[in-house]
């Protein structure tokens, strides 16, 4: 059975519309609670959230669903997604839940589930949960004397802060560094500034006043203009931008220039390779990562393994190949020595740990490789099969010949919208643009 509710990163949609209604949240909790009931112990689920208005609806609905199945609930309030993964393992919980739509606007919301090992659920387990939802759950309700209880974990922020700080090398400090930290009015608005402050940095926090509707609005990892301006205005050494649930990070240097996830991976890989810490013989990135990253890694004797787009697919490849570093151009960085999911704070600290041992400004330190010109355009379609049309295949073949082995073409359907994404990269930006335009025109002609 193909999954209907779960996508590449849990369930996501417009709040108070299917599938993100209180009723569906209740049923997801009941089904997941039943699926992860194992043995005779008191079962436990950790529930975290970001700062969206709709979480006042989704959180209590899920709490009700879990307690109805006999599971105890620990509520941790607004906390980053990686904090929920960490607490699930630390508390020996049977399940972890993060209620968040990540970098999306406040009108959207989502549900991410973590198993007792603190990893996101597999496609097969998500299908099992959907099957349970469809087949009815009333026969599995807990008897009245076995209902679950709910409590709040008041020291959750402190636990996570210490966890993140322990990823920073002992003996190093951030003294003397001025850092602007953009918390996206999201889940990390309390914990992120404290992490950098307690490690010695002069912290200038921004987007730390969530009101339920301003998460990711003109701030955070997907809207860095305000951060860039603040870094320059305050003469900061660098800026750190998290997204709404703090599982991704984008940096900027002292001049306000953006440093994307590919450069962040390159900086960490360079540091870890010199220390003999890289495992698996390389790193894992998605098909969207720049060819310049791949060429740079070759120069330091590391391979680049590519996965499908989505941090869960990066992690699957990492676990299969024994890699300890992977991520996405968008800023999802997974450092498996520390976390089972993307963690923007830990990734930022690994970069800073390498930087504080040099006198180079961030602008020089972060320019690890020269990116190949990369052009991405979207074509709206009704059928994905247009990619297989002879005219489209001919345009792709023609484009590959024009690039002459000095670039690549990637065509893929969007996982969330009726779009075909056409990307090409190579040494000549004008040529790359022309190649993409030719393929887009071919798809558009067929799609009519």
Residues involved in catalysis: 102
Alpha helices (H) in 114-235, listed in sequence order: 123-135, 156-165, 191-198, 225-233
Q: For residues 410 and 423, what is the distance between their CA atoms, to the nearest angstrom?
A: 5
> Could you tell me if 110 and 20 are in contact, meaning their C-beta atoms sit under 8 angstroms apart?
yes
Give the angle subtended at the CA of 392 by the CAs of 387 and 396, to the nearest 5°: 105
| Closest C-alpha among 182, 329, 310, 174 to residue 246 | 182
Residue 149 CB burial class (10 angstroms; 0-12, 13-18, ≥19): exposed
Which residue is associated with the tokens 């399940």? Answer: 95
DSSP string, 247-315: SBEEEE-TT--EE-HHHHHHHHHHHHHHTT---TTEEEEETTS-HHHHHHHHHTT-EEEEE-SSHHHHH
Q: For residues 393 and 46, what is the distance between their CA atoms, to the nearest angstrom?
A: 48
Find out whether the peptide bond into 408 is cis, omega within 30 degrees of 0. Answer: no
């Amino acid at each position: 059975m193909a999954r209907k509710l779960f996508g590449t990163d849990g369930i996501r949609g417009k709040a108070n519309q299917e599938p993100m209604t209180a009723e569906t949240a209740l049923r997801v909790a009941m089904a997941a609670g039943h699926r992860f009931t194992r043995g005779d112990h008191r079962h436990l689920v950790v529930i975290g959230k970001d700062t969206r208005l709709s979480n006042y609806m989704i959180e209590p609905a899920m709490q009700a669903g879990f307690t109805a199945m006999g599971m105890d609930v620990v509520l941790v309030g607004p906390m980053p997604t990686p904090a929920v993964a960490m607490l699930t393992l630390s508390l020996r919980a049977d399940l972890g839940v993060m209620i968040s739509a990540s970098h999306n606007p406040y009108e959207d919301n989502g549900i991410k589930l973590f198993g007792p090992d603190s990893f996101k659920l597999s496609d097969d387990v998500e299908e099992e949960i959907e099957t349970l939802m469809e087949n009815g759950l009333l026969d599995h309700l807990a008897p009245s004397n076995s209902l679950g209880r709910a409590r709040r974990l008041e020291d959750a922020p402190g636990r996570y802060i210490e966890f993140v700080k322990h990823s920073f090398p002992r003996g190093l400090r951030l003294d003397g560094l001025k850092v602007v930290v953009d918390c996206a009015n999201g889940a990390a608005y309390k914990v992120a500034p404290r992490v950098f402050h307690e490690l010695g940095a002069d912290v200038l926090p921004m987007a730390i006043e969530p009101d339920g509707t301003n998460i990711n609005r003109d701030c955070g990892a997907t809207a860095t203009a305000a951060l860039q301006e603040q870094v320059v205005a305050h003469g900061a050494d660098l800026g750190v931008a998290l997204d709404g649930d703090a599982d991704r990070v984008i940096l900027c240097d002292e001049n306000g220039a953006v440093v994307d996830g590919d450069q962040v991976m390159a900086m960490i890989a360079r540091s870890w390779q010199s220390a003999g810490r890289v495992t698996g013989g390389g790193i894992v990135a998605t098909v969207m990562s720049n060819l310049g990253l791949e060429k740079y890694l070759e120069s330091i004797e590391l391979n680049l393994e590519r996965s499908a787009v989505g941090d869960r697919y990066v992690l699957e490849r990492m676990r299969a190949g024994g890699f300890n570093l992977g991520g996405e151009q968008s800023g999802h960085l997974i450092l498996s020595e520390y976390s089972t999911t993307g963690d923007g704070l830990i990734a930022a600290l690994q970069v800073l740990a390498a930087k504080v041992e040099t006198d180079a400004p961030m602008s020089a330190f972060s320019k690890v490789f020269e990116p190949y010109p990369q052009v991405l355009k979207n074509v709206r379609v009704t059928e994905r099969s247009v990619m297989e049309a002879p005219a489209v295949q001919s345009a792709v073949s023609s484009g590959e010949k024009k690039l002459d082995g000095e670039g690549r073409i990637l065509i893929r359907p969007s996982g969330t919208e009726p779009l075909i994404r056409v990307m090409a990269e190579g040494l000549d930006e004008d040529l790359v643009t022309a190649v993409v335009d030719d393929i887009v025109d071919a798809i558009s002609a067929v799609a009519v």
